[in-house]
Amino acid sequence: MNFWILAVALLAIPAAAIAWPFFVGSFKERMLGMWVLLMMPLAGLLLYQQVGNPGALNVQPVPPQQHANQQSLPPEQQQMDAMIDGLQQRLTENPDDPDGWVMLGRSLKTMQRFAQAQVALSKANDQIPGNAQIMVELAEANLYLSGSSEISSSVREMLETALEIDPQQQKALWLLGMVAAQSGDNESAVAHWQRLLELVDPNSEAAKTINQQIAVALTGTSQAVAELEIPLSITLGEGLEHNLPANAVLFVFLHPAGSSGGMPLAVKRFAAPAFPLLTRLGDADLLRPGTSLSDFTQLDVSARISMTGVANPLSGDYQANVVSVDTQTPTEIALHLDRRVP
């Protein structure tokens, strides 16, 4: 009995991690989230009943390198990877499933696989054109993929169109407010956020954050906050430049200290980078609206060269050690790319 309780608990944890983004969406998305939360543990138990026997041990051994790669991942990420692989397989067999593409896209965003998320959400957008929720999710994926806090004209147009379709689209209002504030148009930013404020619980944390942003915009202090920057110097191991393909991309990540496995605060993307590379990370690069570098005492900076152009680490990529920085006295951070991802 203890085994089955433990098994259900272990399956329920990653199921909850995958399902939670859907519970803040529409009724249909909440139903999808509930389906994931219930079906993932059940599917795991049913699978065990099929293969949980001594005969199941007579399988082909996993190659040592592959086994090492899998064991190096946290159990939750292994479960999420397995769920995503299963969903991708199902959509390959039945591609006319916009809800499935949305679920896949949002899950991939959670895993920082932004290029794949953009592809999945584009398929959903093609199958259901004019759906405000899908358009906003796709716009956000494009924003993360760009690695810049500046929203392109195409992403801005997508958000504005989504808002015309659904004037109560909360994420669109929030993102458009941030775009306006970053461009110095505080009046438009406040207008978007005040509309958003009418749609959320006045006692919620969301309302508190929105009110803080409105106060910053009204007092004109946003530019003063944005002055904090972290200078970076990025170098590549000797002789490694000859190993880089033409489509190699450098990603620079900024995380809260000790949380390098989660969603980054900022991502910078450099196609066909030349080394040594000098750049800066500042408040203007932050992907999380309403945050500032000064909100954190310690931050972790890391970098990775992707051989395929995707943000998530793959075997063969080059990466640098994570370096911590004190935001009270930021000094130049040196990152040296000389380690291969196994």
- Say if residues 256 and 296 touch (Cβ distance below 8 Å): yes
Q: Check residue 51 and give its pLDDT.
A: 38
Q: Which of 241, 254, 252 is nearest to 303 (CA)?
A: 252
From residue 104, alpha-carbon distances to 11, 74, 100, 249, 310 in Å are 19, 20, 6, 24, 16
pLDDT tens series, the chain, 342 aa? 444 444 444 445 455 545 444 444 555 555 555 555 555 554 454 444 443 433 333 333 334 444 444 455 556 667 777 888 888 999 999 999 999 999 998 888 877 788 898 999 999 999 999 999 999 999 988 887 776 656 788 888 999 999 999 999 998 998 888 878 777 788 888 999 999 999 988 888 888 888 888 887 887 644 444 457 888 999 998 888 888 888 889 999 999 888 766 778 888 888 888 888 888 888 878 876 667 888 888 999 999 999 988 878 888 899 998 999 988 877 888 999 999 888
Q: Where are the domains of the chain?
A: 167-225, 229-340
Distance CA 132, CA 152 (A): 18
Residue 50, pLDDT score: 40
Bridge partners of 229, per DSSP, are 282
**What CATH number belongs to 229-340?**
2.60.40
pLDDT at 3: 41
d(CA 98, CA 104): 10
Closest by CA position to 281, among listed 217, 216, 230, 215 = 230
With beta carbons less than 8 A apart as the criterion, state whether 337 and 237 touch. Answer: yes
Report the alpha-carbon distance of residue 161 to residue 176 in Å, rounded: 11
pLDDT for 120 equals 94
Q: Which residue has the tokens 């929030």?
A: 174
Q: What is the pLDDT of residue 142?
A: 86
CA 50-52-53 angle, 5° bins: 105
Task: Give CA–CA dist 174/206, Å, rounded.
Answer: 10
What's residue 211's pLDDT?
A: 87
